[in-house]
Structure 1
Amino acid sequence: MYNCAVLLAAGEGKRMKSATPKVLHKVCGKEMVNHVIDTLREAGIEDINVIVGRGAEKVKESTHSRKVSYSFQEKQLGTGHAVKCAKEFLLGKKGTVAVFTGDAPLITADTVKKLISFHESNGYKGTMLTSIVQNPYGYGRVIRKNNGEVNKIIEHKDCTEEELRINEINAGMYCFDIEALLNSIDKLSNGNAQGEYYLTDVIEILKSNGQKIGAIPVEFEETMGVNSRLQLADVGKVMRRRINNYHMENGVTLLDPENTYINSEVEIGRDTIIYPGNIIEGKTVIGENCILYPNSRIEDSVIEKGVTIQSSVILESRIGENTTVGPFAYIRPESIIGESVRIGDFVEVKKSVIGNNTKVSHLTYIGDAEVGEKCNFGCGTVVVNYDGKVKHKTIVGNNVFIGCNTNLISPVKVNDNSYIAAGSTITEEVPGNSLAIARARQINKEEWVTKRELKK
């Protein structure tokens, strides 16, 4: 059976009070609409049409990599009107179309599969997701027949006293027989107080034609939508719990899951221990047996096994096995740190390669440099890579010892097995196996203070 999906993503989201289209607000690092697209793909639906409206270009830009098609809803006149805007996408297709919303990112692939399977195996022309809730106030109620089929959907304000006691609510997610949907969509009317075309009216049209309508209940949290910043936070909390539970079930120790923030595409190896306050973003990959002490931020980086990180920032970089970073280190993009390296407190590395077993223990800046193996950087070393117009490169060989408070004025090369005296400003190449001293000779003027009567 051919399956496709229509994704409603045209709403402005006025209650969000944002210049960003509602469906592009992120949950655990990914736009809500992309969460839903990825879930539909995981459920086996490849042909997806996204209905865009307000902020259409921004939505297209953010979803382009997902290889979806688009329909445009110029005016937001209700969910039924939105699906009507996808008519050209549906024409000529036979099978099942799933209709989901781009602001409900918690739906799971298993639920999508169950919905479609339930729909097709029972021969329904329309099937809806519902939820059983303790307090259904404000939600449309699902009225079933004795055989379990849907009889009708009644808005809260139209319910009788008996109907108000029903706690099965419409989740606003559906699948339809494509031909049945196309035959019904043009019959929708906007004769209601809001002047909008409702997709729920398709259910009534199908029923009036003697078609069977099904409903399958799922957990309410899966159908939670976002219309405000408060709801965005609620959905984010559920998503974080799912992500963190997944990692813990796969052998990762999270000492305080409620205060650990891991984005949806992060990979973490087993026996890694993560303390609270860590923020792990993007497509970061963390190896086995790492320790992340509190309050680090890691984005789009590879952390190999056995690494220890303390209160540091690592962006778009790679950290080799058994290296230690921090506390308070800053690894900027395009840096490659080797194995068994020591990057200590208040060290900044930018767009540089650091060789294995090198130690950069504290208060040092390395930018646009290639550093060899088994080097030692003294406290306060600065690679002076910028002349005010251009960034220049510094090359440091293997087994180099750099004394404290050294300035390496780029471009410059320090060859293997050399030493640089503390306090030097190096502007010329240092030969291998040599000692470079680049500082003024000390002069002591005895009794200088006494002669000038400066002694206090």
Structure 2
Amino acid sequence: MSGVGVVVLAAGLGTRMRSRLPKVLHPVCGAPMAWHVIEAARALEPARIVVVTGHEADRVEAALAADDVRFTRQEVLDGTAGAVRRCEGALAGCETVVVLNGDAPLARAETLRQLIAAAAGRPLAFAVCRVAAPGRMGRVVRSSDGEAAAVVEAAEYEGPDGPAEVNAGLYAFDTAWLWAHLPQVPMSAKGEYYLTHLVGLAAAEGRPAATVPVGEDEALGVDDRVKLAQAEALMRRRILERHMLAGVTIEDPATTFIGALATLGQDATVLAGSRIEGRSEVAEDAVIGPNTTLRNARIGRGTRVEASVIEDSAVGARCSVGPFAHIRGGAVVGDDCEVHNYAEIKNSRLGNGVKMHHFSYLGDADVGEGTNIGAGTITCNYDGVAKHRTVIGRGCSLVRTRCWSPRCTSATGRSRRPGRW
């Protein structure tokens, strides 16, 4: 939508989180909650995305930086309307402005499209939700003809408690109307300018805002750790369902975690008790688990990883890993390899067809194709000052071998006896 600009509000203090980490950077399924908001905005293919920062601005901007994201700073935290006013220059030429809260990670792209459609011919449209306990959410007031007449913020509400229709904090504005009316927003008793006051201004002009109903998940604004846990559970279920609908088998969703940044191929299988974190990539027909952790790992097609941990490393196609193996530190395992019980690999490269079945450690090593790493084999490459690479040729067989030399190299195709090289 080339005529759409998006504002993500991410300047607040987030005092109720009781955290040294800025609120919008608290992770939800492995990614900052504001990242999820930006991802929903990206689905619109907008002309611009502007993130308003304030509290810990440098830290927030570093975490959310991307080629398609601009930042505008709100040096004085004077409310949501004040934040949006600072974006006028950055959004020049946009016909519609979508405003999102950075602490609402469950906003859906489809809802944003509905808001834009509903705002056509109106000054604005905003999302609403009926909840049993409004808490700190603004209540929607409707006129006798059912149109939105105002939004009363919780700090200014003096009516009875109980179920109410609330503002979900997602907006779409006609740009010209927005910039013309933002200066008319009065300062609240708390010294802030509320974006919600624009709903009353539109109604007073006889052009009331349109409303789009949403579920309670999208209306969930995360402002404490309890709501953070709620958002985590809801997002986790969404992610699992997305993968299952795309052709991934998840044996037990209740005990499975897949992070927001992970990708899985069709016909991959994830068994009970497994976690796939970070930017992990699982290829087609791979089987992960049970009880396996992948963290920024790449797993090749048809590979099985059972009861093991793979971190910041890559495993090729048709491999068998585990149980109880640990692959870490930038290791690269080739195709058709076997890495089994209590084997550990760190910062090493294994050629195709290498077998490493049990009780062994390879660190800072290069291993040739078809080599067998027998039980008790260890490469130790630290000479007291620096680490060195161990190079093992193709087709070797090593049993109870220790490499203590900083530059030991095996000959291709030879079998080494037990002992020190």
For the aligned pair, the TM-score class normalised by the smaller chain equals: over 0.9
* Residue correspondence of structure 1 range 291-370 to structure 2 within 5 A: 291-370=287-366
TM-score w.r.t. the length of structure 1 is 0.87
Task: Look up the SS of the partner of 1:414 in the other structure.
Answer: coil
The answer (yes or no) to whether the contact 2:5–2:94 under 8 Å persists in 1 is: no
Name the CA distance, whole Å, in 1 between partners of 2:310 and 2:165: 47
The 1:370–1:160 alpha-carbon spacing in structure 2 relative to 1, beyond 3 Å, is closer
TM-aligned CA distance change 1:58 to 1:137, over 3 Å: closer
- The Cα of 1:148 is off from its aligned counterpart by 4.7
Query: Which residue of structure 1 lines up, in the alignment, with residue 183 of structure 2?
Result: 186
Aligned-pair CA distance for 1:341: 1.2
The Cα of 1:308 is off from its aligned counterpart by 1.6
Q: Please, which moves more after superposition, 255-264 or 75-84? A: 75-84
**What's the % identity of the aligned pairs?**
34
Structure 1 residues 43 and 94: alpha-carbon distance in aligned structure 2, compared to 1, 3 A threshold: closer
Kept in 2, the 8 Å contact 1:252–1:269? The answer is: yes
| CA 135–14 in structure 1, closer or farther in 2 if over 3 Å, else same | closer
Alpha-carbon distance between aligned partners in 2 of 1:365 and 1:409, rounded to the nearest angstrom: 16
Between the aligned partners of 1:230 and 1:409, the Cα distance in structure 2 is: 55
Is 1:102–2:98 an aligned residue pair? no
Name the residue aligned to 1:259. 255
Post-superposition Cα deviations, 1:193-214, rounded to whole Å, max 9, x if no partner, equal x232111112222332333311
Asked if residue 56 in structure 1 is aligned to residue 57 in structure 2, the reply is yes
What residue number does 2:124 align with?
A: 126
- Cα distance in 2 for partners of 1:138, 1:53 equals 22
Residues 1:202 and 1:227: Cα distance change in structure 2 (over 3 Å): same
The reply on whether 1:82 has 2:83 as its aligned counterpart is yes
Q: Deviations over 1:276-299 (max 9, x none)?
A: 221111221112232222322212
Could you tell me how far 1:155 is from its partner in structure 2?
4.4
Name the counterpart of 2:417. 421
What SS does the aligned partner of 1:98 have?
strand
Determine if contact 2:80/2:195 at 8 Å carries over to the other structure: yes
Q: How many residues align?
A: 419
Query: Are residues 166 and 22 of structure 1, via their aligned partners in 2, closer, same or farther at CA, if it must alter by over 3 Å?
Result: closer
Asked whether the 8 Å contact 2:199–2:208 carries over to 1, the reply is: no
SS in 1 for 2:66: helix
Per-residue CA deviation, residues 99-158 of structure 1 (Å, 9 max, x unaligned), is 1011111111111111101111xx110111111234445543323346553122234664
- Give the unaligned 5+ runs of structure 1: 427-456
Give 1:102's aligned amino acid.
G
Q: CA RMSD in A?
A: 2.0
Alignment match, 1:39: 40
Q: Equivalent of 1:171, from 168, 171, 184?
A: 168
Question: Are the equivalent residues in 2 in contact too, given 1:363–1:380 (CA < 8 A)?
Answer: yes
1:236 maps to a residue whose letter is E
Label 1:160 to 1:344 Cα distance change in 2 as closer, same or farther (>3 A): closer
Which residue of the partner structure matches residue 380 of structure 1? 376
Deviation beyond 6 Å, 4+ runs, structure 1: none
**Cα–Cα, structure 1 residues 147 and 43, in superposed 2: closer, same or farther, change >3 Å?**
farther
Instruction: Give the 3-state SS of the residue equivalent to 1:112 in structure 2.
Output: helix
Amino acid at match of 1:150: A
Please say if residues 313 and 331 of structure 1, whose CA atoms lie closer than 8 Å, have aligned partners that are also in contact: yes
| Contact 1:3 1:97 survives alignment (8 Å) | yes
Distance (Å, rounded) in 2 between the aligned partners of 1:52 and 1:262: 29
- Choose from 146, 150, 153 the match for 1:152: 150
2:3/2:47 contact within 8 Å kept:
no
CA displacement 1:352-393 (0-9 Å, x = unmatched): 111222111122111222111221112111112221222211
Q: Among residues 211, 215, 218, which one is paired with 1:215 in the alignment?
A: 211
| Aligned residue number for residue 20 of structure 2 | 19
Q: Indicate if the aligned counterparts of 1:383 and 1:410 stay in contact, CA closer than 8 A.
A: no
Rounded Cα–Cα distance in structure 1 between residues aligned with 2:298 and 2:146: 52
Pair member with larger Rg: 1
| Matched AA of 1:151 | A
| Cα distance in 1 between the residues matched to 2:188 and 2:355 | 74
- Note closer, same or farther for the CA distance 1:22–1:391 as it changes in structure 2 (3 Å cut): same
Aligned to 2:30: 29
Cα distance change on mapping 1:168 and 1:376 into 2, 3 Å: same
Q: Which amino acid in structure 2 is aligned with residue 14 of structure 1?
A: T
TM-score between the two structures when normalised by the length of structure 2: 0.93
Residues 144 and 151 in structure 1, CA contact (< 8 A), matched pair in contact too: yes
